[in-house]
Structure 1
Amino acid sequence: MKNPESLSQSSNHPNPNSLPTDKMVTGAGAATSKKRQRAVHAANLTASSSTRSSSSIVLDKPGPNPIHKPHDPSLPLFNDVASADVILRLTVDPTLSDLTSDHSPDDVVLYLHAACLRRCKYFAALLSDRWQPRNQDGRDDVVLAAPYRISLEVPPAPGAIEARISLLRLLYSDDDDFASTINTAAAAIELLPVALELLFEDCVRRCVQFLEAVPWTEEEESRILALVPLLSEDESKDLLARVSGTNNSSEEMLYGLITSVIHNPNMAYVKAFVAKLLREFSARDSAERVLERAFQSTFKVVKESMEDYTRPGVRGDHNETEAIQRLNLHTAMTNGRHLLWLVERMVELRVADAAVKAWSEQPSFTADLQRAFRDDAWRNIVPGLPGVLLRCTAKLSSAIASGTILVAAQVRKKLVNDWLPVLIVCKDNTSPLTPNNRPLYLDLEDTFLKIISTLPMLDAKELLQQCLIFSTRNFDDCPHLVMAFNTWFRRAARPPQGI
């Protein structure tokens, strides 16, 4: 900001905060705050013995803002021509104006009072005794020219002049009147940069306090973040706490949501909502890590439950052993459903690569399933368990067969090799086909045969021989098996191709 004596003087401004509060900065130069050192669009404030020749809007009706409470008679009236000792002109900075515009905004002239203006550190420094002439008798009391003229240059932004008038009105108000003016986030955002510019600490504090306590729109949040660098660390910490997370806060939140919905009953609608969040989550890598983490922990519970069921370590009362076995099956069933939901989400988001690899490295788990499904105990306890686990297998296998998930041939072979025996056991223990029903395992047969067709000839030969169980009494009921063998024989008949 420029000095109050001359438009041309602009250097070596003293700092008002370096002096006692009753002795503000004097001398030529801009009044700035050493405490804040704020890089704001400072208004150009100058004193002049004559007014500008441009047209002016004079607010010639003194009085407080209509939305304020009745005026305190102990305070001067805002914009009172009769009693004013300072004339302040608000004018658009010509160096920042739009040169292509034919219209020049009118100036605004305000009749103000030094006693009120001194509430603002900028004006307190500007009007301090070192800036003013002394009495001829050498006394220290300040003699202001009557009236003292100041010009304040304003950026040519919409609402810039109005924001400064609102702030100047607050200099004539007590603390209760702040609530009448700073009553919306938009109002606080408009006033805050002006208060920072003119070092009106009470207004800065009230704006920050209000913004910290009220909701923001997305646009308001962007504007507030742009103002945060102008605030001190203490002023900005509460605002930043609302918008700044830790490095992994998003992942922890997402994992918490997934854990909550998969471990609570009757959460179908919530599962649908979380599935939508996952689809729309902007950071795909984070979603992948969260889903993999949930998949691994849930899969571990299923495997441990089936291991405890097939190899119980309990010795003693038969009824107690049976109760524990039932609990193991129920635990496997419940977490199997959760696992299916997670697999569906991973396939949907195309982030199931790790799940496929984990599913293909389960010789021990699939052996436990074969042992469990060969007896009849599970039928009356968890009849849906084979279907749930085969659906997980089908989801992952279909993604491989369709090219949604690309994995190495060795992974494809291991997946079929481990899960084909489980499919065969399930087929042997499932009711026969009906004309209008195509069971899940037939779809899985077809998918396995498609995957086998992608393997090297020797690997395909080994696995195809295990698929003979897919055949039925009616030759027409297994076209997928016929096609798979015909494809293999056609390729086998081709002469070796040199490289």
Structure 2
Amino acid sequence: MEKRSIAQGYTFGDKNTSDITILLKSWEGRPEFLHCHSAILIKKSKFFADRLSLDYSTCRTNEPMSCIQVPCKVSEYDHYLKLLKLMYLSEDSLLESWDSVKSTLGVLRASIDLNCNSVTQSCIQYLEAVPWDEKEEEEVLKIIPKLGPAAVPILARIQPVNFDAAKNVFISAVRFSTCIERSFPPFTDELKTSAQEQMEYMLTQDEDAPLLTADEAVRSEVRTGLINLFTTFESELISMMQVNLKRSAEEAEKGLLQSLSDLEWMCCMLPKMEMMKDFVSCWADITDKLLSVLQNEVYILGLWEVKVKVIELVGKALDAIGYGSIVLPAPLRVQFLKTWLPYLRKMKPLLDLKSKDEFSACRLDADLCQNIEGAIVSLILALPSGDQAEIFGEWMQSAEQLSFPDLSEAFEVWCYRTKTAKRRLFVGLNEAGNHTVSL
């Protein structure tokens, strides 16, 4: 910082050649007197140029000012001091003097206050070229309004991306995360997980607007990715029945768990795009094959982690169906419930028995069980009364089935509706003026 500017021939702090003194006066600290040169200050700072002009209209004497006071906070002192030193550097040396974003931002604030255009431009050039952390970016955003048009290079990094660009990135991420493009190099699982997390974030509705509003092209790509994931899932299920021929049981189970994890991620994405119906449809198509593997005598006492993950995904499907996120005809709702309800009844006590360890991966989360139970109750209450009667009849045939899921609430509603159904229907018909219908 003590380099001599060849063009100017002055050195900062040289008392012998100085013709002006700068008083950096902080409100909390003692005053500091700095020896400077008016020729440098006038050239590099409009603030000093105005103060050192030959306009004596407010001066009592014809002598030029010999001392200029610059108030600053203690926390800003080092930045103002560095700014004064930077005024003595050539343009090339000035750009080489920056060493951190934090320090540059401090000098930039001081430079804006003292209207030092060349230093401000050098700060902008440096900030535009280096990375910022989150806290530094917040500081940059605070300073930008003071820069006006000069801030354009910095704004290029943080300005909103147009929709087409965001869509192209999103589609590429879908293809990568769902392995649509087989030509991709073997990226690590961490990168794939990161891509999935960022895609979900782009669609999230929070205090900021979603970065991407899914149009039909995006929905089509996501639908293709979902089908691809289910195709992979089906292949993994087939591998489970061929472990002695091609893969070990551990390798096959690992592949199946990874496939289920990808589908779980899709279940976080699809509701944001109003596409959960696609998942339920694909899940229903593969259900028979999935249950044939899980209930095969070879795995009846194994694949516990897989079974937990399957129940979690069934819970997401039940939630969408039971609470009306997706609309399915009654026969499809009945079929889905009759398929999975017996399996849930059977697996819940087995998993509870298996997961004695508090941290066991085989444990079914209490909130998950409660959500599944609530979704099933809601789903049942929306079925035709005859289908409800069949479900309740099967439910009460075995005491073991009564604990999970607990259908007591739905049963009470069904009993009330059944008892009052003819009376309510009769009253409704009378009010309509139809007395010919026999009940």
Q: TM-score, with normalisation over the residues of structure 1?
A: 0.51
Aligned residue in 2 for 1:267:
189
What is the distance in 2 between the residues matched to 1:399 and 1:466? 20
Greater mean alpha carbon deviation, residues 215-224 or residues 417-426: 417-426
* Structure 2 letter corresponding to 1:87: I
Residue identity in the other structure for 2:139:
R
Greater fraction of residues in helix: 2
Q: Given residue 342 of structure 1, which amino acid in structure 2 is its aligned partner?
A: M
Assess if the C-alpha contact under 8 Å between 1:76 and 1:113 holds in 2: no
- Out of 213, 224, 231, which is 2:129 matched to? 213
Does the alignment pair 1:417 with 2:339?
A: no
CA contact (8 A) 1:353 1:407 kept: no
Alignment partner, residue 5 of structure 1:
none
Identity of aligned residues (%): 15
Question: Could you tell me how far 1:222 is from its partner in structure 2?
Answer: 2.4
CA contact (8 A) 1:91 1:106 kept: yes
Per-residue deviation at 1:210? 1.6
Query: Which residue number in structure 2 is paired with residue 396 of structure 1?
Result: 317
User: 1:217-366 residue pairs with structure 2 within 5 A?
Assistant: 217-233=133-149, 235-246=150-161, 257=173, 259-263=175-179, 267=189, 270-271=192-193, 274-275=196-197, 278=200, 283-284=205-206, 286=210, 293=219, 296-299=223-226, 338-343=262-267, 345=268, 351=271, 354-355=274-275
- C-alpha displacement of 1:244: 2.3
Superposition map of 1:104-115 within 5 A = 105-106=30-31, 108=33, 110-114=35-39
- Correspondence for 1:131: 54
> What residue number does 1:202 align with?
118
Matched, 1:117 2:34: no
Q: Residue 286 of structure 1 aligns to a residue in which SS?
A: coil
Does the CA-based 8 Å contact 2:2-2:11 persist in structure 1? no
Higher relative contact order (CA 8 A, sep 6+): 1
1:75 aligned partner: 9
Aligned twin of 1:460 = 385
- In structure 1, stretches of 5+ residues that fail to align are 1-66, 134-144, 306-332, 428-432
Structure-2 residue corresponding to 1:189:
105
How far residue 117 of structure 1 moved from its aligned partner, in angstroms, is 3.4
Tell me, yes or no, if the aligned pair for 1:117 and 1:171 is still in contact at 8 Å: yes
Q: Which amino acid aligns with 2:14?
A: D
What is the distance in 2 between the residues matched to 1:282 and 1:374?
33
Match of 2:251 in 1: none
CA-based RMSD: 6.3
| 1:142-161 superposed matches below 5 A | 148-160=64-76
**2-structure distance, mates of 1:89, 1:222:** 32
Deviations 1:348-400 (A, max 9, x none): xxx5793555567x5x9968977x89999xx9xxxx99999886444321566
Secondary structure of the equivalent of 2:139?
A: helix
Supply the distance in 1 between the matched residues of 2:265 and 2:90 (Cα, whole angstroms). Answer: 60
Which has the greater radius of gyration?
Answer: 1
Q: Please say if residues 318 and 372 of structure 2, whose CA atoms lie closer than 8 Å, have aligned partners that are also in contact.
A: no
Which residues of structure 2 form unaligned runs of 5+? Answer: 180-185, 233-256, 297-302, 345-349, 355-363, 429-439
Query: Deviation of residue 476 (structure 1)?
Result: 4.7
Offset of 1:187 from its aligned partner? 2.7
SS at match of 1:212: helix
* Compared CA separation, residues 467 and 449, structure 1 to 2 (3 A): farther
1:236 is paired with a residue whose SS is helix
Which amino acid is the alignment partner of residue 240 of structure 1? L
Cα deviation for residue 209 of structure 1 reads 1.6
Tell me the number of residue pairs that the alignment of Structure 1 and Structure 2 aligns: 370
Gap change, CA 1:450 and 1:83, over 3 Å in 2: closer
What does residue range 21-170 of structure 1 map to in structure 2 within 5 Å?
Answer: 67-69=1-3, 75-84=9-18, 86-90=19-23, 92=25, 105-106=30-31, 108=33, 110-114=35-39, 116-120=40-44, 122=46, 126=50, 131=54, 148-160=64-76, 162-170=78-86
Q: Contact 1:77/1:172 (CA < 8 Å) preserved in 2?
A: yes
Within 2, Cα distance between the matches of 1:252 and 1:131? 60
Letter in 2 for 1:200: C
Residue identity in the other structure for 2:83:
L
